[in-house]
Structure 1
Amino acid sequence: MDRKQEIIETEITMGTVHSAAIEPYRVRLFVEDEIVRDAEITVGVNHRGIERIMEGLPVEKANSLTEKVCGICSGVHLWNSVLVAEKGLEIDIPERASYIRIIVGELERIHSHLLYLAHGNEVLGHETFSMRLFYIRETVMELLRLIGGNRVQYGVPIIGGVRPRADLTEMKIKGILEGLDEIEENLAAFAERFTADPMIMSRITGVCPISRKDALRLHVTGPTLRATGVEFDLRREMECYDPFEFDIITQDDGDVKANLLMRVLEIFESIKILRQAVRDLPDGRVADRSWEMQDTGVVKSYVEAPRGKLYHSYAIEDGRVRSSIIRTPSMSNIGAMQYACIGHHITDAQLGIVQCDPCFTCTDRAIEIIRL
């Protein structure tokens, strides 16, 4: 063979611990002349067997355990797990409790998106922007602490509503509104500075794009899907969001720039929802504890987590959880993370992965591979 026609493929491995990764996972890049020809992401390092631990636990104790699945989207895991029990037991929660759940959920979405943007800028090598975003996020974390008593695991939803300690007093409402004003002002200033930086724009525009067709083929979910132009947000199908007006943000290019802008614009929509929820907060109780425990079959529930569609299911038997299954959005998005790297320079590979907002700690579930 002519030496000029030889294909020399080199494998480059990153992880399981790497400075560009927030959490442990392994990336194998197969490169030819510094261009990625194939990629493989391996998870499992963070697996803690939460579904197995939940087996046989009392329902409310098992629900509390789901909040430990993830440190970024802990609240939405608890919310969805509680929804499974409420659907199975046919419990209608007070309207005030539903609004408080949404307030906590949207604050958590903002905190998750800001963490994503900060990490993205860190991978870009812009430490100043990264720290500015963490500074904005600090206000969100303090609002979550104000409502639930904790910055990370707030423990707000319970079967039948929310914990009484999470009820919104006038003092809390005033703090939330002041915090939203501060977040909106600071984020708008950051967005203006970010998009006006020619070096950053040239670094992220057209990098690792995912087409609409490929996103649908790979079953991408959440903002990563919407960044390809697909107008789908599960909140439109969640009855509790019916009273609120908000836009479904989309971008068309599916590249790193589109994904970063998606999260910035979605934060402003979350602020819009939060202001409506605080303004129209109904009076009344925050929990209905008059329900009775009974056996149920396997009940499924889907919600729109910060990264996309989150699935929880389990059955109740003698007041205890059976056959729990949790499926997180990043499990669906791993295919897109691998695909986004292919055909691009090795220096862009980590950007292609990060643009899909991976959360591998909560993705590490028990998986059974079936050969068809």
Structure 2
Amino acid sequence: MDENKKSSGRNVIETEITMGPVHPAALEPYRVRLFVEDEIVKDAEITVGVNHRGIERIMEGLPVEKANSLTEKICGICSNVHIWNSVMVAEKGLEIEIPERASYIRVIMGELERLHSHLLYLAHGNEVLGHETFAMRIFYIRETVMELLRMIGGNRVQYGVSIIGGVRPRCELDEMRIQKIKEGMDFIEEKVAEFADRFVSDPMIMSRITGVCPIPKKEALRLAVSGPSLRATGVDMDLRRDMECYDPFDFDVITLEGGDVKANLLMRVLEIPESIKIIRQAIKNLPGGPITDRTWEMQDTGVIKSYVEAARGRLYHSYRLEEGRVRGSIVRTPSMSNIGAMQYACIGHHITDAQLGIVQCDPCFTCTDRAIQIIKL
């Protein structure tokens, strides 16, 4: 309900504007409440829950390999990293050393998925900006990544590459697949460079995104932001440097300043060549040997935890094994902590900037939609 109140000697209109759970600018269902005074957002609230599927509860008591496969259903964008991390939980608990070739293939798939996610982010960002041409150009580039993922995993959405002890035999990289990956990386690198040049040279786009919805470094750390959205505020943090499987690869961790819409968009653009660099190194130095070790034996474990750097940031999986079955599974996705930053980014800005402030943090609400309650930060 609208309410008139006195502020600074004049009437100010305070109202609540609700978007969602279905909104044309959103890829997923969620609800946004904006509390506005004279078209300036004074407070914001984001609520998920529309797409809650109870995956962690369904995993309870399932055989571990079946439960791992279920984790791919958590998200249609970052399905590979979910099963990868879930499999790593079991491998840590069972003390399994996977073959080196399998580790390289997992990294290749992880970086291909990062390319796919970042390109989707750029396309969606341009769509929200109202630049349909740029959005369609990015989707055109992304199609190459999707075909490479399909070629390796047999599917464009859920690939089922990682299994306990390595990767599935059908995901082996032969010479034909390696050549296709090389050609795909050349194409993506060239086209993304062309897009970046046109994007930053467009004065209308730059004026629309520069300084819009900034998140200061101090606030980003307070709100536990992770991934590219944290690095866009100037914080040098990337969990890949702590992951043993990334030790053989040389890559730069990109950081920018400001944490605004421009910094977040450019962060993904600049991270794409780094992922291509990692994939090229993995292809060039791909070890020989087996890709799966099935000699391990099942045993009971305590609670095992695993963190990885997903495309959106820090992804957490944990569970314990009891007679080969999963108990007490917990999954925490990057958007779970980034929601606070999305709310913060809207405050103090015009209502027309609110959706940009939310989108800049690359939300994946369906991926996050397992929480019973979100505590307001």
The residue aligned with 1:156 is 161
| 1:22 alignment partner, one of 13, 27, 43 | 27
The correspondence of residues 285-304 of structure 1 with structure 2, limited to 5 A, is 285-304=290-309
Instruction: State the match for 2:124 in structure 1.
Output: 119
The match for 2:79 among 74, 79, 92 is 74
Gaps of 5+ in 1: none
Letter in 1 for 2:134: F
Of 308, 311, 329, the match for 2:334: 329
Q: In the alignment, residue 326 of structure 2 is paired with which amino acid?
A: V
1:104 correspondence with 2:109:
yes
Q: How many Å apart are 1:7 and its aligned residue?
A: 3.7
Which stretches of structure 1, 4 residues or longer, exceed 2 Å deviation after superposition? 1-8, 366-371
Query: Residues 36-68 of structure 1, C-alpha deviation per residue, up to 9 Å, x if partnerless?
Result: 000000001111000000000000000000000
Partner residue in 2 for 1:255: 260
TM-score normalised over the length of structure 1: 0.98
Q: Does 1:130 align with 2:135?
A: yes
| Aligned partner of residue 98 in structure 2, secondary structure | coil
**1:83 counterpart = 2:88:** yes
Q: Secondary structure at the match of 1:278?
A: helix
- 1:40 match: 45
C-alpha displacement at 1:9, in angstroms? 1.1
TM-fit CA distance, 1:8: 2.6
The residue aligned with 1:270 is: 275
Distance 1:369 1:129 in 2: 35
Shift of 1:365: 1.2
**Number of residue pairs matched?**
371
Does residue 218 of structure 1 match 2:223?
Answer: yes
Quick one: distance in 2 between partners of 1:41 and 1:94? 43
Partner of residue 306 from structure 1, selected from 302, 311, 314: 311
User: What is aligned with 1:195?
Assistant: 200
| Counterpart Cα distance in 1 of 2:246 and 2:11 | 58
Cα 1:209–1:169 shift into 2, 3 Å: same
State how far apart, in whole Å, the 1-side matches of 2:260 and 2:204 are. Answer: 16
Deviations along 1:159-180, one digit per CA (max 9) or x if unpaired, are 0000011010000000000010
CA deviations over 1:233-267 (Å, ceiling 9, x no partner): 00000011011000000110110000000000101
Please state whether the residue corresponding to 1:57 is helix, strand or coil.
Answer: coil
Q: Using the alignment, how far apart are the partners of 2:371 and 2:240 within structure 1?
A: 27
Paired amino acid for 1:25: Y
Written as runs of structure 1 = structure 2, the 5 A alignment for 1:51-62 is 51-62=56-67
CA distance in 2, matches of 1:368, 1:173: 45
The letter for the 2-side match of 1:152 is V
What TM-score, normalized by structure 2, do the two folds share? 0.97
Measure the CA separation in 2 of the matches of 1:368 and 1:69: 18
Partner Cα distance (2:375, 2:195) in 1: 47
| 1:5 Cα deviation from its structure 2 partner | 3.6
Alpha-carbon contact 2:120-2:139 (below 8 Å) kept: yes
1:370 Cα shift? 8.3
Listed as ranges, the gaps of 5+ residues in structure 2 are none
Q: Distance in 2 between matches of 1:208 and 1:53?
A: 38
- Give the aligned CA root-mean-square deviation in angstroms: 1.2
CA distance in 2, matches of 1:368, 1:258: 31
Moved more, 256-265 or 358-367: 358-367
What does residue 237 of structure 1 align with?
A: 242
**Cα distance, 1:334 vs. partner?**
0.3
Matching residue's letter, 2:47: T
The answer as to 2:157 corresponding to 1:168 is no
CA contact (8 A) 2:6 2:12 kept: no
Counterpart of 1:340 in structure 2 is 345
Call closer, same or farther: CA 1:364–1:2 in 2, change over 3 Å: closer
| 1:195-223 residue CA offsets vs partner (Å, 9 max, x unmatched) | 10000000000000000001001110000
Please point out which of 284, 288, 302 is paired with 1:283: 288
> Aligned partner of 2:253: which letter?
I
The residue that corresponds to 1:8 in the other structure is 13
Please give the secondary structure, in 1, of the residue aligned with 2:41: strand
Q: Distance in 2 between matches of 1:272 and 1:257?
A: 24
User: In 2 relative to 1, CA 2–73 (structure 1 residues): closer, same or farther, beyond 3 Å?
Assistant: closer
Deviation string 1:343-368 (CA, Å, 9 cap, x unpaired) is 00000000000000000001011335
- Distance in 1, Cα, partners of 2:158 & 2:47: 27
Task: Identify which of 161, 181, 188 aligns with 2:186.
Answer: 181
Within 2, Cα distance between the matches of 1:145 and 1:339?
38
CA distance in 1, matches of 2:213, 2:251: 29
Offset of residue 14 of structure 1: 0.3
Give the % identical residues: 81
Say whether residues 1:139 and 2:144 are aligned partners.
yes
How far apart are residue 147 of structure 1 and its match? 0.8
Distance (Å, rounded) in 2 between the aligned partners of 1:229 and 1:250: 5
Query: For residue 205 of structure 1, what is the aligned residue in structure 2?
Result: 210
How many angstroms apart in 1 are the aligned matches of 2:60 and 2:127?
39
- 1:359 and 1:370 map into 2 onto residues whose CA distance is 18
CA-to-aligned-CA distance 1:273-329 (integer Å, 9 cap, x gap): 000000000000000000001101110000000000000000100110000000000
